[in-house]
A and B are shown apart, each in its own frame.
Chain A
């Protein structure tokens, strides 16, 4: 059951990305091009996503003791701001602005745009693993 719901959640996510225009790097760059000719469309993706999730969070998840198919909610425990968070976000923004692709659309592009999406995804995985290595060095053993 948890596997089927994870699969369905992934399918809905992939449909949402495709429909929202997130798989089109030029559209993403147009959204980030605030100082040029700005296309605000994708603000509606973020807005729609946050609003639906926020409503679901406030109405249901906050009132639930545990998820339907699991024994607890796995919510990141960390609350404080730190350098890795800020440094990581800056690097992420540079890569996102350069290519117009972020991790979700990169995965979703695998079948529809294998040439650029696939190569991007391989490099992204390399970056994830490098990041994991750096984090393991930062943490005291």
Chain B
């Protein structure tokens, strides 16, 4: 293992992470909901338009709209742009996207639901899920992106 000190930036991720934790805490404290994006997105797509305000799709779409707007708010207060460097395109991007969706639905959560929320609740299922997908992702990067 070699640590990439040239790209290592602990402060912005720490503050960004803190904001993500704050958002998750707020959604649970006020709305009583786990901030799991795959779950919110999956239910937003399938419960349309049934379920009413609290159980249905409305709060989910409000949350998702906020998530889309968030980076624009960040840009409005910052002079610099948001760095985006895609690592692949075409078929690999689509297959990867499908796997992420399929895996997070079957596995009942993703980086936000199992990671930020499940770990904070000390949920055994989330701890096992996070360890499993971290190992799986690290092996995948080793195979697919070993040139980086």
Contacts and interface: CB of A to CB of B under 8 A. Distances in A.
Interface size class of B (residues with CB under 8 A): 35 or more
Contacts of B51: none
Contacts of B13: 19-21, 41-45, 48
Interface in B98-125: 98-108, 110-112, 114-117, 119-121, 123-125
A41 B9 contact: yes
Contacts, number: 526
A44 B14 contact: yes
B71 A17 contact: yes
B73 A125 contact: no
Interface string B36-78: 0110011001100000011000111011111111111111000
Interface in A102-132: 102-104, 106-113, 116, 119-132
A110 B82 CA distance: 13
B26 to A, nearest CB: 5
A12 B23 CA distance: 6
Contacts of A113: 84, 86
- Classify the interface of chain A: helix, strand, loop or mixed: helix
A127 B110 CA distance: 13
B119 to A, nearest CB: 5
Given A52-B20, A54-B120, A111-B68, 8 more contacts: A5-B31, A11-B73, A26-B148, A38-B2, A85-B128, A91-B107, A99-B100, A116-B84
